[in-house]
């Protein structure tokens, strides 16, 4: 059996999965500063023949991840965004500067939809990226995610830092106002991008939502939205399959 290790190293978490070419055998999700846990989760896994990584964290995180991966003989492939890959054309001014996680997610979304759609990843930041009906990445936006937006608002307000708040259409206290405002802001960004893409495509696009805040966002969207867990990992498998006959 041939195994592929796919890793999505983000700003705050490392998501990973072991794939056998047909399905996921095991997946995990660990905070960036919990390398001991990551080592424990990997120690009993079958040896992967191929390792593919999307890393958008800092160089320290990359170095630490490299050290962990050295327990296997396979050399990790650290992906960068290309001008064209797996049926998707990258219209970024400099294709290589598009985050590798966004690129992998776009590739996975195109494989799923095969038509124009919005690709939304709700993590530390929220990205909303647009795909055309011919597989072109038209561009996208980046805004702070739920936690980052809240933190920005409450950093200098000691009394609100530990208050979660609840969602209301018309909040009547500050904690609820901040919580509701962050949700409304992110929902508004997605729905605005949907309106713009609808005009461009001539039809209403589907929306694919992934990331830690996907459920919270999807519950408030007034549009067709499908949640896909670990969209970046799915894209990494597709990239690995295109780049190597090992996984085909």
State the Cα–Cα distance between residues 186 and 182, nearest whole angstrom: 6
101 tagged catalytic: yes
Identify the active-site residue in 20, 33, 44, 101. Answer: 101
**Residue the block writes with tokens 């962990």:** 68
Give the catalytic positions in this structure.
101
């Amino acid at each position: 059996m041939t195994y592929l290790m796919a890793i999505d190293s983000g700003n705050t978490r490392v998501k990973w999965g072991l794939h056998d070419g047909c399905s996921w055998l095991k997946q995990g999700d660990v905070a960036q500063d919990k390398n001991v846990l990551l080592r424990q989760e990997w120690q009993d896994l079958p040896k992967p023949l191929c390792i593919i990584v999307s890393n958008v964290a800092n160089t320290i995180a990359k170095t630490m991840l490299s050290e962990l991966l050295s327990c296997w003989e396979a050399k990790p492939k650290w992906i960068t965004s290309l001008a064209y890959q797996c049926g998707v054309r990258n219209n970024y001014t400099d294709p290589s500067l598009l985050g590798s996680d966004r690129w992998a997610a776009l590739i996975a979304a195109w494989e799923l939809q095969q038509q124009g759609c919005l690709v939304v990843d709700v993590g530390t930041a929220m990205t909303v990226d647009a795909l055309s009906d011919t597989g072109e990445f038209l561009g996208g936006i980046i805004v702070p995610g739920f936690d980052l937006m809240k933190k920005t608002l409450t950093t200098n307000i000691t009394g609100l830092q530990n208050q979660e708040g609840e969602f209301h259409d018309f909040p009547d206290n500050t904690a609820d106002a901040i919580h509701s405002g962050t949700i409304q802001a992110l929902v508004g960004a997605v729905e605005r991008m949907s309106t713009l893409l609808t005009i461009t495509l001539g039809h209403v696009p589907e929306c694919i939502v992934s990331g830690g805040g996907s459920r919270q966002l999807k519950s408030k969207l007034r549009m067709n939205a499908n949640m896909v867990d670990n969209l970046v990992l799915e894209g990494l498998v597709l990239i690995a399959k295109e780049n190597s006959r090992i996984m085909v």
